[in-house]
Amino acid sequence: MLSPGLVAAIAFGYLLLLFAIAYYGDRRRARGRSVIANPYIYTLSLAVYCTAWTFFGSVGKAATQGATFLTIYLGPTIMAFFWWFVLRKLLRVCKDNNLTTMSDFLTLRYGKGTFLGAMVTLGVLLAVVPYIGLQLKSVSDTFNILVYQKIISPLTTPVYQDTAFYVALVLVVFGILFGARHLDPTERHEGMVAAVAFESLIKLLAFLAVGVLVTYGIFHGWGEIFGGISQDPKFRQLLQINTGAHDSYILIMVQTFLAMGAILFLPRQFHMAVVENTDEKHILTAMWLLPLYLLLINLFVMPIAFGGLLLGFPPSQADTFVLRIPLEGGHPYLALLTFIGGLSASTAMVAVGSIAVSTMLLNSLVLPLAIRLKLQERLPPYLLTIKRAGILLVILLGYITYRLIGPSAMLVDMGLIAFCGVAQLAPAILGALYWRESTKYGAIAGLGSGFFLWAYTLVLPYLVEAGMFPTDILEHGPLGLAFLKPTAFLGLTGLDVLSHAFFWSLFFNVGTFVSVSLLTASSPLEEEQAWRFVDVFELEEGMPVERRYTYLPNLDQFTRFMEKFIGTPKAAEAQQAFLRQVNTPEKEWGDREKLQLQSYVERTIAGSIGPAAARVIMDGYLSSLGSRMEGVFDLFGQVSSSLEESQQKLKRRVAELSVLYEAARTLTSTLYLPELIEGVLDLLVERLGVEKCSVRLLDEEGMLTIKSYRGLNHLAPITSVKPEIGSLLGQCLLTPQVISVSDTSLMGGDRLEGLLEEETMASFVLAPITTETLALGVLSAASSQKGYFAREHVEFFQSLAGQLGAAVRSAQQVAHQIRNPVHAIGGFAHLLLKKLPKDSDTRNYAEIIIKEAKRLEQMVREVIETSVIFVPREEEQDINQVVRGALGIIRSKIEEKHIDLKVELTENLPPLTMDVGNMKRVILQLVANALDAMFFGGHLRLSTAHQDGMVEIKVADNGKGIPAHMLPHIFDTFFSTKPSGPGLGLPIVHKIIVQHRGEIFIESKENVGTTVTIRLPTTKPEQ
């Protein structure tokens, strides 16, 4: 017999060997030469699926229930057919977002809230902890059998004499050494994977060795064993299935489904298959090699089980046949190998499982809680300690459950409870990957009801059996309500406990998940994530810029920020990795790269603290720096984000884009306005198949006249109308905004005034052609088909009309610039002509100059005449009203930044004649500038006064001020004091004030503040 010292020493030596392998694996990774980056190691690491439950429990189950145990391994084999479809997608999403647990996956997909993650974590913890207890039981039982030939019940031993307790402690050390030696943002532990892969090999070899011994050493092959069993009336029913509730077809189906879910959703499987994966192509090998591994490790289960029974071992000891047969058959060293095999199976499961669950605990429970308690600033130094404590907690909880309910349950039951528990994750995770309309509330309802019913119908009966709850609940239902009996919920009887629990939990889980998802709407954040998850394969490298921060820290600042969460070396690594990824030096970065950096940093820290916490911390960090988010209109981004549109629509979008592109080319290739407008209309007709379109421009009298058209009758140009605000045409021009009418029959006649009959037959779009401050005309397109112009066309026409406006404006400017020199050239040429003798060659040249100059003048005149400045709408208004109105719009932003606002308005000011909308814009722009200049609180003063026939408005801040050398350029277009930003604000302000015959002054001193003064005349403008 084997001495306790020898067995313990060999076990300890084996663990040391594993650690050496892990150390080697980590060293190799550090040098960039991964040992695990091959599909065979990947497959072996996935074999962490086979725990002590497989190693010992399968035989136990085969000896009592026959072939049904195979479903646990046939399920993953069937699932392997779906891996390329499901696992690959899961993998891609997780790698793209640096997700390291399933709770993080669900948290990110369903809107980054903390509740869902916490619920998932608690559910998974409840499922996995007894499973870990089971492994402890297995190691302790096999050790005791090997040494003392008997199982020692924990009920009769104090903790300090309990082998399982010491096993638990060793495993805690093992788990920490493997999984939490340092912080890693990717949560990858190559050393551990290498060790687990090695263990998978050992457990397979050990099991095959016992199998060969029993089948061919003790018996003479399969035939003898099966023959013996079929002769024995006590055991012959083991050769068939569906002989009772314990091996019914329903149970077989349920177990197959559970195993299919378990191979993907058990925390350790998710960790190995997704987090530790190095290349998605490895799936293609693992998908056949893992089933082969499972087949091999199960090949001798039935021979060992039936052999044990034939040898006279009692079925109650079937869980340990693998050990007892060689031990009592005189092969103690083979028994020792078996023990090591079982030890491999247990330690691998506990190490990976506890690391995965402790990461979940940290990311989804501890950190969100810390953030709620506002402790996030103090947390970073303790992250590693918390993680280690998590591993300790998970394993010790496993030990406690083992002591409480372990002895009453056979090995297999605990495993199936865990399988059924994690199966609750399946609907939410699959919904996250494939169903865009699934919502957070749907997921919460589904997971909540699923976990609850699982716990109620499956876990509770075991707790009752273990004596933790009165048996009344099982016999008569809670409070005597028979229809709520956990094992016959709503009166459903005739099923075994597992099938019953499976049915009810998933019935409610799927039902509420789908129905609540359909009844609730997802938040914009969820919608964005849904698109990123569901269409992960359609995403291209460059994500569209849809938002931007007013200010983002630079790479070094971000690196220092990351250091707090992942340590200095890893942060430096991440910095380098990012630079490689963008492949552009920091100096040349635009908005896209900066935004990429921000999301990269968020993803990186999400790897160690989870997406929910990462988002809160990132938001807090940015807002502490005075940054806020703003939307960016990006037509290309819009196109890629609406990929779900039908192909038809997509084609139209592509055509639209090409029109915009061509239009941009036409607009830059000519300054001659009529040619330009013709070009744009041609594009609309040829590329987009627009039936009728036209461009109307304002003339000097403020009348809209059709300048060019396609598909309309020839009388069109004669009609010219005055744009009234009551008509759509006027509304479009004066507000200005794009107007799309999908069915003209629903419109009143006066609203359509000014439009041609042909244009108003069914549907049309009107887009204002404007420059920054002026309305120039209207671009229209019409169809004789109702609803031809969809919502997204609005954006397109807005863009196109905007381009036209810009072109008109630049043409105008160029024309003004050219006009005087051309006059001069013409004039001087005339003078020359007079002084030159007749019939000389030189005289000919001068005539040519005059002729050409006249032609040029004519062209310039045309350009200027076709684009007349539109007079703004003026009305009499009290300026104080305007100031109050503007403040009402921006007040929330002022409060958000904790800025002390003082408003000193002088009452009874004379009313001013002005364009109220534009004036409000001026005030808003000035206040916004002041806010931008003040980072951390500050004073903002707004005042109005009346002086020398002028009304004075002052906006003063004590922000960072404007450097003296920049002051003279402050009103230049495209000049900006900010490092980023278009620089259009102050020039527009200037223009509007000049239009109102006013004056604007800026006084500013760096680090003292800026005061902007506007003076407007109280006299009425001349008519």
Partner 1 sequence: MSPAMTKKDKLLVLLGILGLFLLNYPLLQIFNCEYMSFGVPILTWYLFGIWVLAIIGLLAFGHLISKEYKAQTTYGE
The contact mask relative to partner 1 for 192-221 (x = CB under 8 A, - = no) is -----------------------------x
Q: Which residue has the tokens 């627009």?
A: 690
Task: Determine, following the binding rule CB under 8 A, whether residue 233 of this chain makes contact with partner 1.
Answer: no
92-115 in b/e form (b: 16+ CB < 10 A) is: bbbbebbbbbbbbbbbbbbbbbbe
Identify which of 707, 713, 660, 664 has the alpha carbon closest to the alpha carbon of residue 687: 660
Q: Looking at residues 499 to 538 of the shown chain, list those that interact with partner 1 (rule: CB under 8 A).
A: 537-538
Q: Looking at residues 289 to 308 of the shown chain, list those that interact with partner 1 (rule: CB under 8 A).
A: 291-292, 295, 299, 302
Residue 766 β-bridge partners: 739, 780
Task: Determine, following the binding rule CB under 8 A, whether residue 641 of this chain makes contact with partner 1.
Answer: no
For residue 31, the minimal CB distance to partner 1 (Å) is 10
Nearer Cβ to partner 1 (162/190): 190
Longest dimension (CA), the chain: 137
Task: Determine, following the binding rule CB under 8 A, whether residue 654 of this chain makes contact with partner 1.
Answer: no
Q: Say if residues 463 and 405 touch (Cβ distance below 8 Å).
A: yes
Only segment of 146-154, 279-287, 908-916, 962-970 that touches partner 1 (CB under 8 A): 279-287
Only segment of 273-281, 503-511, 825-833, 855-863 that touches partner 1 (CB under 8 A): 273-281
Residue 695 β-bridge partners: 708, 779
631-640 in b/e form (b: 16+ CB < 10 A) is: eeebbebebb
For residue 382, the minimal CB distance to partner 1 (Å) is 27
Task: Determine, following the binding rule CB under 8 A, whether residue 288 of this chain makes contact with partner 1.
Answer: yes
Please select the residue that binds partner 1; options are 14, 226, 503, 549, rule is CB under 8 A. Answer: 226
Identify which of 613, 770, 592, 792 has the alpha carbon closest to the alpha carbon of residue 697: 770
Task: Determine, following the binding rule CB under 8 A, whether residue 82 of this chain makes contact with partner 1.
Answer: yes
Q: What would the DSSP string read from start to end of 537-580?
A: TT--SS----EEES----HHHHHHHHHHHH-HHHHHHHHHHHHH
Nearer Cβ to partner 1 (74/993): 74
Q: Which residue has the tokens 């020839």?
A: 714
Tell me the angle at which helices 163-179 and 115-148 cross, rounded to the nearest 10 degrees.
Answer: 130
Nearer Cβ to partner 1 (95/954): 95
Nearer Cβ to partner 1 (257/402): 257
Q: Give the C-alpha separation, 349 to 347, whole Å.
A: 5
Only segment of 77-85, 264-272, 609-617, 883-891 that touches partner 1 (CB under 8 A): 77-85
Q: Is 5 helix (H, G, I), strand (E, B) or coil?
A: helix
Please select the residue that binds partner 1; options are 80, 87, 309, 933, rule is CB under 8 A. Answer: 80
The contact mask relative to partner 1 for 538-557 (x = CB under 8 A, - = no) is x-------------------
Q: Say if residues 376 and 616 touch (Cβ distance below 8 Å).
A: yes
Nearer Cβ to partner 1 (93/774): 93
Please select the residue that binds partner 1; options are 6, 14, 38, 95, rule is CB under 8 A. Answer: 95
Nearer Cβ to partner 1 (169/539): 539
Identify which of 184, 195, 119, 175 has the alpha carbon closest to the alpha carbon of residue 393: 175
Please select the residue that binds partner 1; options are 140, 256, 708, 995, rule is CB under 8 A. Answer: 256
For residue 597, the minimal CB distance to partner 1 (Å) is 19
Nearer Cβ to partner 1 (434/636): 434
Identify which of 560, 762, 740, 611 has the alpha carbon closest to the alpha carbon of residue 187: 611
For residue 286, the minimal CB distance to partner 1 (Å) is 9
Name, in order, each residue with C-beta under 8 angstroms of 60's C-beta and a sequence gap of 6 or more: 305, 318, 319, 320, 321, 410, 411, 412
- Structure token pair of residue 639: 């196109």
Please select the residue that binds partner 1; options are 38, 157, 285, 1018, rule is CB under 8 A. Answer: 285
Q: Say if residues 125 and 299 touch (Cβ distance below 8 Å).
A: no
Nearer Cβ to partner 1 (285/877): 285
Q: Give the C-alpha separation, 1017 to 1009, whole Å.
A: 27
Phi and psi of 655, rounded to 5°?
-60, -40
Task: Determine, following the binding rule CB under 8 A, whether residue 280 of this chain makes contact with partner 1.
Answer: yes
Nearer Cβ to partner 1 (349/510): 510
Nearer Cβ to partner 1 (68/364): 68
Amino acid identity of residue 589, one-letter, is W
Q: Looking at residues 15 to 74 of the shown chain, list those that interact with partner 1 (rule: CB under 8 A).
A: 29, 32, 34, 37, 67, 70-71, 74
Nearer Cβ to partner 1 (105/709): 105
Q: Looking at residues 564 to 623 of the shown chain, list those that interact with partner 1 (rule: CB under 8 A).
A: 573, 577
For partner 1 (CB under 8 A), the number of binding residues is: 52
Please select the residue that binds partner 1; options are 2, 10, 170, 284, rule is CB under 8 A. Answer: 284
Residue 340 CB neighbour total at 10 angstroms: 21
Name, in order, each residue with C-beta under 8 angstroms of 814's C-beta and a sequence gap of 6 or more: 671, 863
The contact mask relative to partner 1 for 960-989 (x = CB under 8 A, - = no) is ------------------------------
For residue 191, the minimal CB distance to partner 1 (Å) is 15
Task: Determine, following the binding rule CB under 8 A, whether residue 281 of this chain makes contact with partner 1.
Answer: yes
Q: Is 916 helix (H, G, I), strand (E, B) or coil?
A: helix
Please select the residue that binds partner 1; options are 14, 216, 222, 845, rule is CB under 8 A. Answer: 222
Q: Say if residues 957 and 939 touch (Cβ distance below 8 Å).
A: yes
For residue 537, the minimal CB distance to partner 1 (Å) is 5
For residue 108, the minimal CB distance to partner 1 (Å) is 18
711-721 in b/e form (b: 16+ CB < 10 A) is: bbeeebeeeeb
For residue 215, the minimal CB distance to partner 1 (Å) is 12
Q: Give the C-alpha separation, 479 to 496, whole Å.
A: 23
Residues in the chain: 1023
Residues that bind partner 1 (CB under 8 A): 29, 32, 34, 37, 67, 70-71, 74, 77-82, 84-85, 92, 95, 221-224, 226-227, 230, 239-242, 249-250, 252-253, 256, 277-281, 284-285, 287-288, 291-292, 295, 299, 302, 537-538, 573, 577
